[in-house]
Structure 1
Amino acid sequence: MNRLQGKAAIVTGASPNIGGTLAAGLAAEGAAVLCTDLSEEVAAAAARRIIEAGGDALHLAGDVTDPAHAEAAVALAVERWGGIDVLVNNAVFFQQQGVLDMPYDAFRRQLDVILGGSFLFTRAVGRSMIEQQREGSIINVLSTAAWQGQPGNVGYSTGKSGLINFTRSTAMELAQHGIRVNGFTPTATAPTDPEARKAMETLLARPSSYRNDFAAQLPLGRLPTPDDYVGAVVYLASDESAMVTGTNITVDAGATAKYWPWIPHPTD
């Protein structure tokens, strides 16, 4: 496949779950991909997965809240591939706590990663695209928690909802340069990677005052896997979406469209 042939992309937060799968999906369509993550091991594994499949990839470890890391990622991609065409802002960390029990420093840190990291990478990549007169695509990974009120997850929900208008604002600002900015909304995801699956199971097993029955609420009857997200993100990265900016594509098995009291698949 070659829908992204000749394009270079940066994916932040290239974990084995959503980020790494999106990076591999972009590469499978011909893009060269720089995989970044806070963990050197995670970033390297994402790049290695692409290379072993016959693609072109680099990795760089760093903190998305560090402006120097964003600049270094851009410089590395430009040095290797001559420029950047696609940015996927996916970096995040999970700390499910509510307003009554979440330490303020933890709340600020979560917003800094989700919103601050997207700001820094969008600014660095946007400046590079403008300097090189490359019309590109920036994709911000949102969440169904950005559109709905999830109790006990205030930092994540607030940060992801902030990305909705960050997407709109930057899309309007960068439109004059031919740079498109869009959101992509996944939902609770069934990881295919064993380590990611174990981490999710651990997270869901934690005691909580708020019951979440994801499987019972999805009209399509199952949680999406990371592979289910690739097509939408490839579309937004490709020239096929040349007239799409400032909006959002949702892949959530119907979760946000469902009338709230309806339980399509009761489990008890």
Structure 2
Amino acid sequence: MNRLADKVAIVTGTSPNIGGTIAAGLAAEGARVVCTDVSADVAKTCASAIEARGGQALAAVGDVTDADHVEAVVAQAVDRWGHVDVLVNNAVQFNTKGILTMPLDEYRRQLDIILAGSFLFTRAVAQAMIRRQTGGSIINVLSTAAWQGQPGNVGYCTGKSGLINFTRSVAMELAEYGIRVNGFTPTATMPQDPELLRKLAEEPGEPSRYPMDFASQIPLNRLPVPDDYVPTVVFLASDESRMITGSNITVDGGATAKYWPWTPH
């Protein structure tokens, strides 16, 4: 497939779950992909997997809240391939604490990764797109937790909900340059990677004060896996969505559309 042939994409946060799967999916459609992560092993593993399948990729290691790192990643992409056409703001930190238990410094750090990271990468990529005058697509990974109130997860919910209007505001500002900015909303996701599944089984973590029965609330009868998200992100990255900006596509098996008292399973 070559729906993204000749396009260059940057994906932030390329762990084997959602971010890495999206990066691989973009590459499978012909994009050349910069795989970024704060972990060198994660970024290099993602890029190597793409190259092993015949794609083109490079790894970039650093913190999305570091402006120098962000500028360097964009410069690296431009030096290697001449341009940037797609940005997927996916980098996130999971820290499931609530208003009564989360220290202020941890709250600020979580928001910084989600919001400031998206701000810095969006600004740097937009500037590169504007210089080239060919437009592009920026995709912000949201969450069903951005649209609903989840107890005990205050930083994540706040950061992801902030991305909703960040998306709209930036979409309006960049429209004159032909740069489209959209949200993509996944939900609780079943990992495909066998190693992640093994770790979840062996290290389930502390029981939550707010247990979540995700699987029984999905009208379509199963939790999504990362591959379920790839077609939507490819569509938003491609020219097929050329008249869509400031919007959002939700892939959640019907979870957020469901009337709250109904338990489907």
* TM-score, normalization by structure 1: 0.97
C-alpha distance in structure 2 between counterparts of 1:149 and 1:207, whole Å: 19
Q: Counterpart in 2 of 1:256?
A: 256
Structure 1 residue 196: deviation in Å? 2.7
C-alpha distance in structure 1 between counterparts of 2:89 and 2:250, whole Å: 16
Q: Counterpart in 1 of 2:166?
A: 166
Structure 1 residue 36: deviation in Å? 0.1
Distance verdict in 2 for CA 1:203–1:99, change over 3 Å: farther
Q: Counterpart in 1 of 2:41?
A: 41
Q: Counterpart in 2 of 1:66?
A: 66
Query: Structure 1 counterpart of 2:183, which letter?
Result: G
Structure 1 residue 40: deviation in Å? 0.5
* TM-score, normalization by structure 2: 0.98
Query: Structure 1 counterpart of 2:20, which letter?
Result: G
Superimposed CA distance per residue, residues 182-215 of structure 1 (whole angstroms, 9 cap, x where no aligned partner): 0000000000112333455577542211120001
C-alpha distance in structure 1 between counterparts of 2:255 and 2:142, whole Å: 14
Percent of aligned pairs with the same amino acid:
70
Q: Counterpart in 2 of 1:206?
A: 206
Structure 1 residue 134: deviation in Å? 2.2
Superimposed CA distance per residue, residues 3-36 of structure 1 (whole angstroms, 9 cap, x where no aligned partner): 0000000000000000000000000000000000
Query: Structure 2 counterpart of 1:67, which letter?
Result: A
Q: Aligned to 1:44, what secondary structure does the other structure show?
A: helix
Query: Structure 2 counterpart of 1:126, which letter?
Result: A
Distance verdict in 2 for CA 1:38–1:158, change over 3 Å: same
C-alpha distance in structure 2 between counterparts of 1:201 and 1:171, whole Å: 41
Q: Counterpart in 2 of 1:155?
A: 155
The farther-off stretch of 197-206 and 58-67 is: 197-206
Q: Aligned to 2:42, what secondary structure does the other structure show?
A: helix
Superimposed CA distance per residue, residues 15-72 of structure 1 (whole angstroms, 9 cap, x where no aligned partner): 0000000000000000000000000000000001100010000011000000011101
The farther-off stretch of 56-65 and 192-201 is: 192-201
Q: Counterpart in 2 of 1:31?
A: 31
Distance verdict in 2 for CA 1:101–1:201, change over 3 Å: farther
Q: Counterpart in 2 of 1:239?
A: 239
C-alpha distance in structure 1 between counterparts of 2:10 and 2:195, whole Å: 23
Distance verdict in 2 for CA 1:4–1:61, change over 3 Å: same
C-alpha distance in structure 1 between counterparts of 2:252 and 2:73, whole Å: 31
C-alpha distance in structure 2 between counterparts of 1:211 and 1:47, whole Å: 36
C-alpha distance in structure 2 between counterparts of 1:241 and 1:19, whole Å: 21
Query: Structure 2 counterpart of 1:237, which letter?
Result: A
Q: Counterpart in 1 of 2:127?
A: 127
Structure 1 residue 251: deviation in Å? 0.3
Structure 1 residue 110: deviation in Å? 0.2
C-alpha distance in structure 1 between counterparts of 2:130 and 2:91, whole Å: 23
C-alpha distance in structure 1 between counterparts of 2:202 and 2:150, whole Å: 19
C-alpha distance in structure 2 between counterparts of 1:195 and 1:143, whole Å: 23
5+ residue gaps, structure 2, are none
C-alpha distance in structure 2 between counterparts of 1:107 and 1:144, whole Å: 19
Aligned length: 265
Structure 1 residue 225: deviation in Å? 0.2
C-alpha distance in structure 2 between counterparts of 1:224 and 1:81, whole Å: 33
Q: Aligned to 1:180, what secondary structure does the other structure show?
A: strand
C-alpha distance in structure 1 between counterparts of 2:63 and 2:209, whole Å: 32
Query: Structure 2 counterpart of 1:25, which letter?
Result: G
Q: Does 1:95 align with 2:91?
A: no
Query: Structure 2 counterpart of 1:233, which letter?
Result: V
Q: Does 1:7 align with 2:7?
A: yes
Q: Aligned to 1:113, what secondary structure does the other structure show?
A: helix
Q: Aligned to 1:11, what secondary structure does the other structure show?
A: strand
C-alpha distance in structure 2 between counterparts of 1:63 and 1:199, whole Å: 24
Q: Counterpart in 2 of 1:228?
A: 228
C-alpha distance in structure 1 between counterparts of 2:11 and 2:197, whole Å: 21
The farther-off stretch of 190-199 and 220-229 is: 190-199
Q: CA RMSD in A?
A: 1.1
Q: Aligned to 1:230, what secondary structure does the other structure show?
A: helix
